[in-house]
Amino acid sequence: MAKAAVFLDRDDTLIENVPYLGDPTQVQLLPGAKEAITRLHQAGLLLIVVSNQSGVGRGLISKAQVRSVDAKMEELLGSKGIITAFSHCYAAPGDPYDERRKPSPLMLQEAALEHGLSLNDSFMVGNRLSDIQSGHAAGCRTIILKLRIEPGDEKACAELATFSAKDWPAASAWILKSKESPL
């Protein structure tokens, strides 16, 4: 039987966005993220981070720096071994080889194949329209996390997202309530 997952954007969803973050000492969790991740994991949901990371494609940070930031985030979340996978698209905007970048659903679809997931039973949580579009196109239920929503994205996100959450406690509560009711 296929499993459900929660796909998570990284910057301004789990951690504070520092443009082209390559220094793990600058990683700061967003309020409520640690508790939400713990609750979702305890409920049996796989947790997969999906992030574009265009700074690598632009030559501003390295893949090793991205991995070190991810490792620090996992440490702060207390989630070593809880986060199932990280999926990053390293292409720069406008790169002709960037078909995996959100809003494309490809990173989510690849993860679903790799981990035997049901996308219809899964969720995508993010703070940008591209996160919501990606999850929607993949067939997931989508949650716009309004902690750090991009200016100008709020209306379109509210229209497309399955749920708008003011914070992590609201997002995790809704996911846990909804996980038993497939689309």
Q: Residue 28 maps to which CATH number?
A: 3.40.50.1000
8 A C-beta contact, residue 112 and residue 122 = yes
Active site residue 12: no
The pLDDT of residue 96: 65
Question: Mean pLDDT score of the chain, rounded to an integer?
Answer: 92
* pTM, to two decimals: 0.94
**Is 106 part of a structural domain of the chain?**
yes
The residue-averaged pLDDT of 74-85 equals 83
**Is 32 part of a structural domain of the chain?**
yes
Q: Residue 134 and residue 125: Cα distance in Å, rounded?
A: 10
In the chain, DSSP finds a helix count (H) and a strand count (E) of 7, 6
**Is 173 part of a structural domain of the chain?**
yes
The residue-averaged pLDDT of 142-166 equals 93
Is the pLDDT assigned to residue 2 strictly greater than 90?
no
The pLDDT of residue 85: 83
**Is 152 part of a structural domain of the chain?**
yes
Active site residue 11: yes
The pLDDT of residue 38: 93
Q: In angstroms, how far is CA 3 from the centroid of its own chain?
A: 17
pLDDT per residue over 10-55, tens digit each?
999 999 999 999 999 999 999 999 999 999 999 999 999 999 998 9
Q: Exactly one of 11, 12, 70, 131 is catalytic; which is it?
A: 11
Domains contained in the chain, number: 1
pLDDT per residue over 86-136, tens digit each?
888 887 766 766 888 999 999 999 999 999 999 999 999 999 999 999 999
Q: Tokens representing 34?
A: 């640690």
Q: Exactly one of 9, 12, 121, 131 is catalytic; which is it?
A: 9
State the residue range of the domain holding 41. Answer: 5-178
Q: Residue 123 and residue 3: Cα distance in Å, rounded?
A: 12
**Is 22 part of a structural domain of the chain?**
yes
**Is 58 part of a structural domain of the chain?**
yes
pLDDT band at 182 (very low <50, low <70, confident <90, very high): low
**Is 90 part of a structural domain of the chain?**
yes
- Name residue 141's beta-bridge partners: 123
**Is 183 part of a structural domain of the chain?**
no
